[in-house]
């Protein structure tokens, strides 16, 4: 499995039957492929509908997802305008928002909409989603392509929100943000030391986090990785 | 009152320096014929309010490429490289607004509301220069209404009174913009006689629509 598939599969386990979910473009769109049998979710598409589904048959130019790609709508779906769409999002009617990140930090701050002087695509609906959704999951590869840490003590890029992220899922680990960063779960074959070496932020290790790789490592306590540490 | 006009008649309505709202989401639900007339008309120094700047050859993206826009208010510009290039070269002012806030500011502009309070953008660059209020221990930004001189929107079907029905995800910002401009022009795929659309299914009531043009078929 690729890192993206590992992440999508793990995020799928966070979703409960009946959840209304908004998936960001890119990696999060893989998640429905990995839902357990019996877990039916309703996907919200911020361009104006509920019941987003895969494209079946011919593409309809008037039916696209929030990334502009042709898609389908499932039985029970509904179309609406952008004000209704964001009333659903801000009003707490969306249970889970899954998004990617450039950086996320131990206070639950997120940066994912611009790199000053380089890339300014805009925030689209991301700021409303992270502010309004009941549960915010960041689904991202643990480090940048250059190997730099993305889970930081404090985000350095312009923020998307302050203190709204609940869960971070990477190909290496799952973190919860609960008065600081808590390592909850390791992927198979990954040790706490591995995670520490490529996570800039300090984190505590949750009681249920079992390190299968390095039995010497303490299961509680705080670790601080080298800033900008490489994998 | 006859609201139906030709694309030729539309052309004379646009003036230099106007603020134009344009419906659509990544070009889906954009009034392509009206955008083309706006380009043919030659109006420049426009302020454009739109969800995004679409693509270079689609929707409002074409206005950017043709250098007609001096100021763009949008939530996303990443799909049109020319928007980013003009912004960095200081040829175009871009004001990025969170998508839900943009929708609500346009709704306020059309609904006679003085603004809206939202948590979106608190603690980010979006809050710069804005009034903040605390209510029930939650910090909010005061976001002010947006209006335009002309809104150009797209619907699937209109009757001659201007009642509108949209199509799937091509609805997006169109019904909001239909209330938020001094003149509202809709481009439709199909025009029917007044009374032929079930009042129960009308999404935008015809009283807010000033002009109707029928899209050319290609």
Q: Does residue A123 fall inside a structural domain?
A: yes
Q: Does A43 touch chain B (CB under 8 A)?
A: no
Contact A224, A202 (CB under 8 A): yes
Domain B7-113+146-214: CATH superfamily, name plus number: Glutaconate Coenzyme A-transferase (3.40.1080.10)
ipTM: 0.96
Per-residue pLDDT tens over the stretch A201-229: 999 999 999 987 755 444 444 444 444 43
Q: pLDDT of A146-193, one tens digit each?
A: 999 999 999 999 999 999 999 999 999 999 999 999 999 999 999 999
Catalytically annotated residues of A: 46
Instruction: Enter the pTM of the model.
Output: 0.94
Whether the CB-CB separation of B150 and B63 falls below 8 Å is answered with no
Q: What is the CATH number of the domain that holds A118?
A: 3.40.1080.10
Looking at the domain assignment, is residue A224 inside a domain? no
Judge whether A215 lies within some domain.
Answer: no
Task: Determine which of B81, B103, B104, B125 to mutate to test the interface with A (most A C-beta atoms within 10 Å).
Answer: B103
Q: Which of B98, B103, B168 sits opposite A60 (nearest CB)?
A: B168
Residue B129 pLDDT greater than 60, yes or no = yes
Number of domains in chain A: 1
The answer to whether A60 faces chain B, any CB pair under 8 Å, is yes
Mean pLDDT of B145-162: 98
Its domain, for residue A86, covers 3-205
A100 falls within a domain: yes
| Residue B157 forms contact with A (CB below 8 Å) | no
Taking one residue from A and the other from B, the number of pairs with CB-CB distance under 8 angstroms is 143
Residue of A83, A97, A115, A155 to mutate, interface with B, max B Cβ within 10 Å? A83
Across chain B, the runs of DSSP E, i.e. the strands, are 19-22, 46-49, 69-74, 93-96, 116-118, 132-135, 138-143, 148-159, 164-165, 181-192, 211-214
Residue of B nearest to A131 (CA): B120
Q: Determine, for residues B100 and A90 on separate chains, whether the beta-carbon distance falls below 8 Å.
A: yes
Q: pLDDT, tens digit, for every residue of B65-78?
A: 999 999 999 999 99
Question: Coil, strand or helix: which one is B200?
Answer: helix
For A43-90, the pLDDT digits (tens) are 999 999 999 999 999 999 999 999 999 999 999 999 999 999 999 999
The residue behind tokens 């979006």 is: B126
Cα separation, A71 vs A67, in Å, equals 10
Contact (CB<8Å) A68/B98: no
Residue A158 maps to a domain: yes
Question: Is A225 contained in some domain?
Answer: no
- Asked if A83 lies within 8 A of B51 by C-beta distance, the reply is no
Tokens of A209: 């986090």
Q: Taking every pair of C-alpha atoms in chain B, what is the biggest distance, in angstroms? A: 56
Query: Within a domain: residue A230?
Result: no
**Residue A67 with chain B: CB contacts under 8 Å:** 26
Which of B26, B99, B178 has the most A C-beta neighbours within 10 Å, making it the best mutation to test the interface with A? B99
Residue A214 lies in a domain: no
Q: How far is A95 from chain B (nearest CA, A)?
A: 17
Are A89 and B104 an interchain contact pair (Cβ–Cβ within 8 Å)? no
């Amino acid at each position: 499995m690729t890192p993206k598939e590992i992440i999508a599969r793990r995020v799928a386990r966070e979703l409960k039957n009946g959840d209304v979910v908004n998936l960001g473009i890119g990696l999060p769109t893989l998640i429905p492929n990995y839902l357990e049998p019996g877990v039916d979710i309703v996907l919200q598409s911020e361009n104006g509908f509920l019941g987003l589904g895969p494209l079946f048959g011919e593409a309809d130019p008037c039916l696209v997802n929030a990334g502009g790609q042709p898609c389908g709508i499932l039985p029970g779906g509904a179309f609406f305008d952008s004000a209704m769409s964001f009333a659903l999002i801000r009003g707490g009617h969306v249970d889970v928002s899954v998004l990617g990140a450039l950086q996320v930090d131990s206070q639950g701050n997120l940066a994912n909409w611009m790199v000053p002087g380089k890339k300014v695509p805009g925030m689209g609906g991301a700021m409303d989603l992270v502010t309004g959704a009941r549960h915010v999951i960041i689904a991202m590869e643990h480090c940048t392509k250059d190997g730099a840490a993305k889970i930081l003590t404090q985000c350095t890029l312009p923020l998307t929100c302050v203190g709204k992220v609940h869960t971070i899922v990477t190909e290496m680990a799952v973190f919860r943000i609960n008065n600081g960063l808590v390592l909850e779960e390791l992927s198979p074959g990954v040790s706490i030391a591995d995670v520490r070496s490529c996570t800039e932020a300090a984190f505590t290790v949750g009681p249920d986090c079992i390190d299968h790789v390095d039995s010497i490592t303490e299961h509680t306590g705080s670790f601080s990785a080298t800033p900008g540490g490489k994998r | 009152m006859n609201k139906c006009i030709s694309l030729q008649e539309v052309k004379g309505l646009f003036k230099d320096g106007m603020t134009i709202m344009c419906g659509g989401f990544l070009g889906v639900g954009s009034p392509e014929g009206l955008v083309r007339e706006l380009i043919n008309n030659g109006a420049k120094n426009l302020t454009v309010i739109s969800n995004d700047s679409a693509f270079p050859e689609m929707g409002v993206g074409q206005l950017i490429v043709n250098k007609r826009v001096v100021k763009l208010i949008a939530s996303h510009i990443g799909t049109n490289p020319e928007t980013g290039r003009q912004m960095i070269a200081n040829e175009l002012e871009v004001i990025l607004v969170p998508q839900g806030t943009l929708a609500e500011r346009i709704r306020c502009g059309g609904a006679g509301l003085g603004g809206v309070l939202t948590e979106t953008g608190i603690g980010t660059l979006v809050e710069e220069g804005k009034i903040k209020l605390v209510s029930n221990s939650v910090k909010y930004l005061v976001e002010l209404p947006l209006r335009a001189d002309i809104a150009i929107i797209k619907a699937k079907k209109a009757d001659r009174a201007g009642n509108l029905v949209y199509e799937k995800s091509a609805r997006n910002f169109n019904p909001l913009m239909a209330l938020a401009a001094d003149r509202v022009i809709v481009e439709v795929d199909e025009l029917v006689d007044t009374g032929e659309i079930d009042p129960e299914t009308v999404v935008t009531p015809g009283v807010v629509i000033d002009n109707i043009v029928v899209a050319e078929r290609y």
